[in-house]
Structures are given as structure tokens and as C-alpha cells.
Structure 1
């Protein structure tokens, strides 16, 4: 039986309401329990060095310059104003565009992880919003737009005193989903996925929580698909979904740097990421994000974004073109 979501008041930083108000002033001058599917398919194949890799190959086509600090997570806001958010080991947060150019300077505001965001109108103001986890293990939004020179933290009440360990998010499916859907797990309950939706209540942003959903094993990554929540376990470290041409593909990376994908028929295939002419992706990415609606940067088939350290010790975000999969007119299926 579906349970009513719980309305929880948003926790606030002292300056969050006033800063949010200044943003708007400056610019102006589905509820219920989701079904969880444990993903226990064959783990991705460990990546190996090869002059001529076999099988499915997706090219790394672009990357940022050295961002200078170790990366902990990457996230994408697709559609208009497509933006990549990057977090660093020291708690910094920075935005770059799909050309790899810096949109903001690194802001040292105590962020440990971000998840996929969204470009939207918030109180008649165009902003980009990313959900994230603070260095203290709390849930927060990070809002950028208007006259803000760096992202504005907007704390949310996650309904728990436990430290939040991992996070996933997605665009709304229904009007009742608000501005974003989120899912997270905590250090004390790694086999329980909390899901909810972030909605506008007056001038506030509030998290409406569903009942927690149990998982069979410790969660290491999650996705919020249009059809429900999916959880992944060791060795998967990151999962990303691309919706393109009315088809859905899920891309995974494991702790050894191996990649795999699955299509709508749950067919699974390992793949390799190839170097570009001047692009050298990290051997073991720390995180992955993706969008099928990359309107900036020239990615008609969508784009996969990974972050990590390259062989020459540079800390970079790398852009991978999934068109070999996503642009198939009748949908991609692994070769027999």
C-alpha cells in the first residue's frame, strides 16, 4: 500500500533565505513508494591496455584542462544551459560547460558529492540547481544563476541524523514530482534507499520523503529511472542513464575502471572508452554522469561525463560520445 509522503521543513543556513531573495531581486531589477530493482548482473569487465581494443568502443572526444584538485564527483544538468558540476576532495565545487570551459571558479563551500541537476525557472528566475551532500554529511541544494558569482547552498531536511553517504537524482516525471526527484542512502543504513521529491512550498524548497525502500545488499550507486528506482552494489561505483530517441540506456563503471551498459531489454554488454587525438581519459574514473539532452557542446546522441586522474596526474573531466549506442534508429542491442 502506498504511504503518504512526509512533509519536512527545510533546514536553513543563516544566510540562505536572504541570498536566495537577493538572487531573485537581482534578476528581476510522483508520490509513493518506488519499486527498487537490485542490479546483480555480471560485473563490468576490467579495463586493460590494448592497442586495438575489441567489441563496443565509445570515443572520449573532449576534456577539461587540468582542474588542479582531486575530483570526488561529477554531475550534469542537461537541456538548456547544460552544465557539469564537479566536486573536489577539499570540499570545493565548480561548474564547467560541455565545452570543458569553466563557468565558475572553484568555491570552497564544503561539498563532498553532487548528483544530476536541472536548469529551470525558480520564482521567475533562470537557475541551475544541483542536489548534493555537504562535507558534514547533510543534504543540500546548490543553486547558481542571476547575479550569484558562486553556487548558493540551500540546506534540506533529509529526515535523518545519520550521515548521508550516497545520492542520485533525476528530473521530475509528474507535475507532483516538483523540481527534482532524489534518492539517497546513509552510512548507518546502506541497505535502505530513501526517495523523495523536492517541491516549492511558497518561497521555500522542501523535500517530501517517501517510505524507505529496502535493498538486498549494501548500495554503492543508484538511479532514478522514469519507471522507478534502481540500486547497484559492489563493484559498481557509478551509474548514469541516457534517454535519447525514446530509448533508455544505462551506463556503469566499476572500481577497476571497467565499463558496461544495458538497454531497455536488460541486455548487458561491456565496452571500452578509447583515447581521442589529444584526450586521455582516466584509467579508473571516480564518478560518472550523463544526459541525453545536451544542447550545448554538439552532442546529438547525448554525452557521458567522467571525472578522475589521468596517467600524467592531471585532474580532469572527460566527455564521452555514446552515439554509437544512442543514435541507433531501432535501438542498440549487443551483437550476437
Structure 2
């Protein structure tokens, strides 16, 4: 178990990216977007964006440079893209050409097997029972949006996640993430006032995940935000990684890196 140094305050959302240089993005409740590498070290300068949500990042090449792109939602309900890569001292904000640009509440993203940058799903304050889906692509240096079929639910959506082959929405979980590696495919989540939970049947039944404190690292009992990835390209995480962020002491907040190898490596081939 690893952790960042004490964070700047309470966390609204966290997100992970894969690729050769995995990144952790943290959006603070009082405002600010900060990036870390997978050793918990701060990268670049913090950016003064005020975000309510973040989704998984994807690595791509734009204008000959490799960049990581995190979708995020501003306090005004706008869905934007946040880029970081070579030549950037801090994350940069870029518009995404999606509908409903002033009422977005939540977002999730996933990798693409075909051409394009990422799959994306989001819902709005005016209709929290429908996930708008699509694919973000890049054409001549500009982002484009290919709308997909909407996913309808019979409940108000609180979170969503792309598993290996399914888009899952939840009426209870405030944060959800896929943890897939080989034959192992699970959905991780946290609810208000709860610890980390895991489901292997797409959220129908959940089990508590016991996260033990390390020698010098304390894990938050009731995380504020969570992210996960079953496969990391860079070293140190053979079975993937889970990140939970929350209060680890009086007025002290940290992001804690948890090794899920007991789950992912035991259940994969």
C-alpha cells in the first residue's frame, strides 16, 4: 500500500489513466485539479479548475505528442476534456462537442478497441434516468463526437462505469469503477458513508472489501472517491491498482494506492 502526501483538502473525484505513464487525477471539493504519478508524486502545477466529477483518462497522440485526456464536469455542469502531456506545465482545459453542455451531472469513460480516443457516457440534471453515450474522436486536431444509443434506466443515476463489455449505471453508488484483468471482471463502488465494495455480477450484489492499513499508511474508512484499473502498463502494479481518497486523520486527506492482486491475479489466467 502506498499513498500521496497529505492533499490540499477534501476530494470530489479521482480518476486513473493507463498507458505507459499512468496518471492519477484529483479534483478538490473547494476547487483545483492536481495530477500525480503512480508513485504518488505530484506532476506539474495544479490547475485552478473547479470540477464536480472526473472519468478515467485515456492516452492518445495529438499533433505528434502523446497526451492523457481526462473527461471532467465543471461546477457549471459543462463536460470538458483535461489534457496533460509533453510541453504542458499543468492540465489544460479543452471543449468537448457534446450536447447538453450546461446541465451534466456525472460522467464515465472507457477505452476503445477500434479507432477513436474513448467511449463516454454521461447524464444530466434534467434527465437523470438516461445515459447519453458516444465516442470521442480526433480529426485534424479537433475533437469530434459520435453519438451512440442512449441507455434508459428506471432510477435516478448516481454513477456509471464501463466494465469489459458492459455499461453499468447505479442508483446507490456515488463512485464506481471496473476492475478487470484476464478472466477476472468485477465492479468496485462506494456509497455514502460506506467503505469499498465489490460485485462480480454487475452491481446486483455487493460484498465489502477489507482494506488493511499499511505500516505507515492509513486507509480512509469511508472514502470520498475511488478509481481502479485492472491493468497498469508501468511497473509496481502487477495486478492493477485501486485508489481510494478520503480523510485519513483529523483534517487530513490522502489518496491511498491499494494492491488488488489477491483478487485479480488469483482469478486471471
1:106 paired residue among 46, 52, 64: 46
Worse-matched range after superposition: 91-100 or 257-266: 257-266
State whether structure 2 residue 123 is matched by structure 1 residue 123.
Answer: no
Measure, in 2, the Cα distance between the counterparts of 1:185 and 1:139: 10
Residues 239, 261 of structure 2: 8 Å contact kept: yes
Residues 240, 250 of structure 1: 8 Å contact kept: yes
1:261 paired residue among 192, 198, 203: 198
What's 1:286 paired with? 224
Measure, in 1, the Cα distance between the counterparts of 2:205 and 2:113: 25
Choose between structure 1 and 2: higher strand proportion: 2
Unaligned runs of 5+ in 2: none
Measure, in 2, the Cα distance between the counterparts of 1:271 and 1:134: 31
State whether structure 2 residue 155 is matched by structure 1 residue 217.
Answer: yes
State whether structure 2 residue 113 is matched by structure 1 residue 173.
Answer: yes
**What SS does the corresponding residue of 1:325 show, helix, strand or coil?**
helix
The structure showing larger relative contact order (alpha-carbon pairs under 8 Å, at least 6 residues apart) is: 1
Measure, in 2, the Cα distance between the counterparts of 1:109 and 1:289: 20
**What SS does the corresponding residue of 2:263 show, helix, strand or coil?**
helix
Residues 162, 177 of structure 2: 8 Å contact kept: no
What's 2:140 paired with? 202
What's 1:153 paired with? 93
Choose between structure 1 and 2: higher helix proportion: 1
Measure, in 1, the Cα distance between the counterparts of 2:182 and 2:164: 15
Give deviations 1:173-216, integer Å, cap 9, x for gaps. Answer: 323xx101111111111111111110012221112222422111
What's 1:298 paired with? 236
Number of residue-to-residue matches in the alignment? 268
Structural RMSD (CA) = 1.9
Q: TM (normalized to structure 2)?
A: 0.93
2:13 paired residue among 73, 80, 87: 73
1:239 paired residue among 163, 170, 176: 176
Residues 248, 263 of structure 1: 8 Å contact kept: yes
Residues 16, 227 of structure 2: 8 Å contact kept: yes
Residues 183, 267 of structure 2: 8 Å contact kept: no
User: Over alpha carbons, which structure has the higher Rg?
Assistant: 1
Measure, in 2, the Cα distance between the counterparts of 1:68 and 1:162: 28
